[in-house]
Structure 1
């Protein structure tokens, strides 16, 4: 369990999150994920990375229980820096990253999927940002890469979710698959990329990041600054404590 990496076929690296019960990552977990994705991309034998998860869902964001059990602000700062590192690792990975999403994709999960090059999802997958209900902000930067602007705003304000089928209609999800066929579907897309000239694919990734209209790292850091403000004003702890008291995971 934890974060693991394996290789499949010709040039396909598979990075897997397996952190029960809901793949809510600890501070260390976010940095481990960032390291795994970066190392996979730096390997000259890697042509494409598949990022997926085991368990009930893709990713439920940060481990709020860890944050509330830690005195001071160390865990809050660590989680923010860890998310920043992991999201950036996906975006800056030297080869394309395919996010294979099943079940829930919430908070930090949206940061990962939104920064991926391609999203393949199971037909039971859904995406959302519950940050406002947790006294925090963040990953709207990445949600804006998945849904239209006004829907993104409504999702932030109301904390509503969208289904993989909706994202497929928008073109944000490339393919829908049954849950038991998701991994195969992602590996099939990965194989089509891995079949291309690896040098050209790496330059294609570099070129697409170079023409991106939004600096996702700077944009996300701005959001995080407002999360720090919410914490200083007491809103962060108030909502996180309520989440823990309700038995949230």
Structure 2
């Protein structure tokens, strides 16, 4: 299936989504609809174990398409906000790990898109920026706060300052910062490592991250123990034990 605002490639259990809205990959309603559709489908596909999302050209995504700002007509802003949330929630809720390969500007909604992914890798030229205060808007605090320390989160929101790849790595926001030409290879390398693991165990691990955020360590660990108990009777666990005994690499089916 072809899409207007993104491309999709699937090979060796890795899906690569590329945002394709030149010149800066701004997010319009069509993009939001297509992203939700594609990510939801990938979450259900047995041939996909990890997802990489990046941008075409020099930008990851420079934020919302301002030509489609909602009007003050009754219900219009509410519907707009629901669509925006859905485009972020599909990333957070996807059962497969998603890696953001930040190749350039990730501004506003583009920044939040990256922050909703499980893992962030960035090029040396990539940066995150929240510019809402400079255009009289608000938003992004909840997502920024999940990744940045409190002082850095407030600085980013209050000043709209760009935070580039090397600084993101220092702040532990990004897992890697590499030369632009090495970005996709690095992201796909991480995805390949994920794809080698038990798909059912990886899904359980992501579910644990989703469920245990914001709960006590007591409640969180009890949930994880329940996950482990459920996995203990799975085909993947049996294969892992057999591979260990036979001194070979496991072949997981998920």
Q: Same fold (TM over 0.5)?
A: yes
- SS of 2:197's partner is coil
| CA-CA distance at 1:79 after TM superposition | 4.0
* Counterpart mapping for 1:34-53 below 5 A: 34-53=36-55
Q: Which 5+ residue runs of structure 1 have no aligned equivalent?
A: 215-249
Distance 2:176 2:138 in 1: 29
Q: Distance in 2 between matches of 1:21 and 1:78?
A: 27
Q: Distance in 2 between matches of 1:176 and 1:158?
A: 23
**1:72 Cα deviation from its structure 2 partner:** 4.1
Aligned residue number for residue 137 of structure 1: 138
- Point out where structure 2 has 5 or more consecutive residues left out of the alignment: 216-254
Task: State how far apart, in whole Å, the 2-side matches of 1:78 and 1:34 are.
Answer: 15
Q: Which residue of 2 aligns with 1:61?
A: 63
Q: Superposition pairs for residues 1-249 of structure 1, below 5 Å?
A: 2-9=5-12, 11-67=13-69, 72=73, 76-213=77-214
SS at match of 1:193: helix
Deviation per CA, 1:18-46, whole angstroms, max 9, x where unpaired?
A: 10111111112112112211211111221
Shift of 1:53: 1.1
Could you tell me which residue of structure 2 aligns to residue 235 of structure 1? none
1:109-138 per-residue CA deviation (whole Å, 9 max, x = no partner) reads: 121111111001101111110011122111
SS of structure 2 residue aligned to 1:144: helix
Q: Structure 2-normalised TM-score?
A: 0.78
- Residue correspondences, number: 212
Residue 170 of structure 1: how far off its partner (Å): 1.9
Of 133-142 and 92-101, deviating more is: 133-142
- Cα distance in 1 for partners of 2:19, 2:185 equals 17
- Residue pair 2:36, 2:87 contacting (<8 A) in 1 also: yes
Preserved CA contact (<8 Å) 1:147 1:167: no
Q: CA RMSD in A?
A: 1.8
Provide closer, same or farther for how the CA distance between residues 73 and 51 of structure 1 changes in structure 2, counting only shifts above 3 A. farther
Q: Secondary structure in 1 aligned to 2:37?
A: helix
CA distances 1:203-233 after superposition (whole Å, capped 9, x unpaired): 111111111128xxxxxxxxxxxxxxxxxxx
Distance 1:30 1:208, change over 3 A: same
Change (3 A) 1:113 1:138: same
Q: How far apart are residue 82 of structure 1 and its match? A: 2.3
Q: TM-score, normalised by structure 1?
A: 0.80
* Alpha-carbon separation, structure 2, partners of 1:33 and 1:76: 20
Q: What is the CA-CA distance between 1:194 and the residue it aligns to?
A: 0.4
